[in-house]
Protein backbone atom coordinates (compact mmCIF):
# COMPACT_ATOMS: atom_id res chain seq x y z
CA UNK A 1 0.00 0.00 0.00
CA UNK A 2 1.31 3.45 -0.91
CA UNK A 3 0.93 6.58 1.14
CA UNK A 4 1.54 10.27 0.70
CA UNK A 5 2.75 12.48 3.51
CA UNK A 6 2.99 16.20 3.98
CA UNK A 7 5.38 18.23 6.12
CA UNK A 8 4.51 21.47 7.90
CA UNK A 9 6.68 23.76 10.02
CA UNK A 10 5.61 24.77 13.53
CA UNK A 11 7.31 26.40 16.48
CA UNK A 12 6.78 25.65 20.16
CA UNK A 13 7.94 27.18 23.45
CA UNK A 14 8.39 25.75 26.92
CA UNK A 15 9.51 27.22 30.21
CA UNK A 16 10.86 23.78 31.23
CA UNK A 17 13.10 22.20 28.55
CA UNK A 18 13.69 21.42 24.87
CA UNK A 19 12.05 18.00 25.38
CA UNK A 20 8.96 19.67 26.78
CA UNK A 21 8.85 22.13 23.88
CA UNK A 22 8.97 19.22 21.41
CA UNK A 23 6.19 17.40 23.30
CA UNK A 24 4.05 20.54 23.34
CA UNK A 25 4.58 21.07 19.61
CA UNK A 26 3.73 17.50 18.62
CA UNK A 27 0.69 17.41 20.92
CA UNK A 28 -0.60 20.70 19.51
CA UNK A 29 -0.01 19.61 15.91
CA UNK A 30 -1.94 16.40 16.62
CA UNK A 31 -4.96 18.46 17.74
CA UNK A 32 -5.21 20.04 14.28
CA UNK A 33 -3.58 17.52 11.92
CA UNK A 34 -4.67 13.92 11.49
CA UNK A 35 -2.17 11.07 11.18
CA UNK A 36 0.91 12.83 12.61
CA UNK A 37 3.69 10.28 12.12
CA UNK A 38 6.80 12.13 13.27
CA UNK A 39 8.68 15.35 13.73
CA UNK A 40 12.19 16.61 13.05
CA UNK A 41 13.75 19.31 15.23
CA UNK A 42 14.92 21.83 12.64
CA UNK A 43 16.11 24.54 15.03
CA UNK A 44 16.27 25.31 18.71
CA UNK A 45 17.10 28.35 20.82
CA UNK A 46 16.76 29.64 24.36
CA UNK A 47 15.66 32.86 26.01
CA UNK A 48 17.84 34.09 28.86
CA UNK A 49 17.60 36.74 31.53
CA UNK A 50 20.21 37.58 34.15
CA UNK A 51 22.37 34.69 32.97
CA UNK A 52 19.63 32.10 33.41
CA UNK A 53 17.57 30.29 30.79
CA UNK A 54 13.94 31.37 30.99
CA UNK A 55 12.43 29.54 27.97
CA UNK A 56 13.27 26.94 25.34
CA UNK A 57 12.08 27.22 21.72
CA UNK A 58 12.01 24.61 18.96
CA UNK A 59 11.11 24.73 15.30
CA UNK A 60 9.66 21.41 14.18
CA UNK A 61 9.05 19.88 10.76
CA UNK A 62 5.94 17.77 11.48
CA UNK A 63 5.07 14.92 9.10
CA UNK A 64 1.51 13.71 8.67
CA UNK A 65 0.10 11.09 6.31
CA UNK A 66 -2.66 12.25 3.96
CA UNK A 67 -5.86 10.22 3.86
Number of domains in the chain: 1
Is the confidence at residue 4, as pLDDT, over 90? yes
pLDDT at 49: 97
- Any idea which of 1-5, 25-29, 53-57 has the lowest mean pLDDT? 1-5
Task: Please provide the average confidence, as pLDDT, over all residues in the chain.
Answer: 96
Work out the burial of residue 40: count CB atoms within 10 Å of its CB; fewer than 13 is exposed, 13-18 middle, 19 or more buried.
exposed
C-alpha span between 56 and 15 (Å, rounded): 6
Are 67 and 6 in contact by the 8 Å Cβ rule? The answer is no
Helix (H) or strand (E) holding 42: strand 36-49
At 3, the pLDDT band (50, 70, 90 cuts) reads: confident
Range of the domain at 56: 5-65
Q: Classify residue 16 by its DSSP letter.
A: S
Is the confidence at residue 67, as pLDDT, over 90? no
Here the CATH number for the domain that contains residue 10 is 3.30.1660.10
Amino acid sequence: MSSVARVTTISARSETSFDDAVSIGVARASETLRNVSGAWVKDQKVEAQDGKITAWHVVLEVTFVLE
